[in-house]
């Protein structure tokens, strides 16, 4: 299982109101059932009354029962992922991994142990002689279906320094992508804003990132590397100035060249509305061809 820890920041609210407000992926009936099952604790004590008032500063614990995590294709069992074999560079401050496609970076949703972070933590813990906490912090993000270079800081100091570089846009990220269609221009830029639009399949927010006039500034520079006219595909190099969620997938689709195999984003940079196994597609669904190529 997994324990979700929260610190109440509101002046006062009911236990039920807290969870339905902060974890909107489940409705009130589901949270009432969980509270009645005794898997919610307030300041370490089991609480089974959803009307209990919780105050600012109190500590809440949701003890999620054990579940079976989905397999990662190509890594069954998941422990078959070898951290040394995917390490591109390492020193005392940072480590650069070559992330395989299909593996989430951080724990969330159904994936708590089958993640790059958890696997790396286990690797470093097995090498150390003391019981000191392992510090690893990803400096940027990659989608679950994206492969390639992902940078982690190994100390709080390097995390702070590199985080500032990211904020100041001093770290340059270049990707390779295979897109549908033949790009007519050798080089072009895409600057459509990216922001949330309604999307019911994302139950905890009710929205998804997409091309949106009311979104935040986003800029991608694209260069064609190869055109495959027979298969109607283009290999492109994409240098992103900003780092919006799913930026390359959205921008290339907006420009009329969605990523090959992308189950989510279609022409216009918005969800296509397709289904996978009778459910709506979500951003974590894989199949697209996107690779984090260079960091500098």
pLDDT at position 79 over 80: no
State the pLDDT at residue 30: 87
State the pLDDT at residue 261: 96
Which spans in the chain are helix H? Answer: 15-22, 28-36, 83-86, 116-127, 156-167, 247-254
Q: How far apart are CA 155 and CA 153, in angstroms?
A: 6
10 Å CB burial of residue 231 (0-12, 13-18, 19+) is exposed
State the pLDDT at residue 129: 75
173-180 vs 290-295, strand pairing mode: antiparallel
pLDDT tens-digit map of 191-224: 999 999 999 888 777 899 999 999 999 999 999 9
**Which residue in 198, 199, 238, 240 sits closest to 217, CA to CA?**
240
State the pLDDT at residue 159: 95
- Residue showing tokens 């100035």: 241
Q: How far apart are CA 157 and CA 136, in angstroms?
A: 11
Neighbours of 226 (CB within 10 A): 9
What pTM value is reported for the model?
A: 0.79
pLDDT tens-digit map of 226-242: 999 999 999 999 999 99
pLDDT tens-digit map of 157-180: 999 999 999 999 999 999 999 999
Contacts of 251 (CB under 8 A, 6+ apart): 190, 192, 194, 211, 218, 220, 238, 269
State the pLDDT at residue 25: 67
Average pLDDT, the chain: 91
Neighbours of 125 (CB within 10 A): 12
CB 200 within 8 Å of CB 206 = yes
Q: For a pLDDT cut of 90, what percent of the chain falls above it?
A: 72
């Amino acid at each position: 299982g997994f324990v979700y820890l929260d610190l109440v920041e509101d002046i006062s609210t009911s236990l039920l109101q807290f969870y339905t407000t902060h974890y909107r992926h489940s409705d009130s009936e589901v949270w009432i059932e969980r509270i009645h099952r005794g898997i919610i604790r307030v300041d370490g004590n089991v609480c089974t009354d959803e009307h209990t008032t919780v105050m600012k500063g109190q500590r809440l614990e949701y003890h999620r029962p054990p579940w079976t995590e989905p397999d990662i294709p190509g890594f069954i069992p998941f422990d078959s992922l070898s951290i040394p074999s995917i390490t591109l560079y390492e020193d005392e401050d940072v480590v650069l991994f070559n992330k395989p496609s299909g593996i989430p970076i951080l724990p969330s949703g159904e994936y708590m142990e089958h993640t790059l972070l958890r696997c790396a933590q286990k690797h470093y813990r097995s090498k150390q002689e003391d019981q000191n906490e392992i510090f690893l912090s990803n400096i940027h993000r990659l989608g679950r279906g994206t492969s390639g270079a992902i940078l982690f800081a190994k100390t709080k100091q390097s995390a702070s320094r590199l985080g500032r570089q990211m904020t100041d846009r001093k770290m340059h990220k270049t990707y390779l992508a295979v897109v549908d269609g033949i790009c007519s221009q050798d080089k072009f830029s895409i600057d459509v804003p990216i922001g949330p639009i309604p999307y019911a399949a994302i139950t905890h927010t009710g929205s998804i990132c997409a091309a949106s006039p009311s979104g935040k500034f986003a800029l991608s520079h694209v260069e064609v590397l190869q055109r495959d006219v027979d298969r109607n595909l283009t290999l492109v190099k994409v240098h992103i100035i900003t780092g919006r969620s799913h930026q390359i997938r959205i921008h290339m689709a907006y420009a009329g060249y969605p990523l090959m195999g992308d189950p989510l984003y279609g022409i216009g940079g918005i969800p296509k509305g397709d289904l996978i196994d009778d459910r709506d597609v979500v951003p974590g669904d894989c199949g697209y061809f996107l690779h984090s190529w260079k960091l500098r």
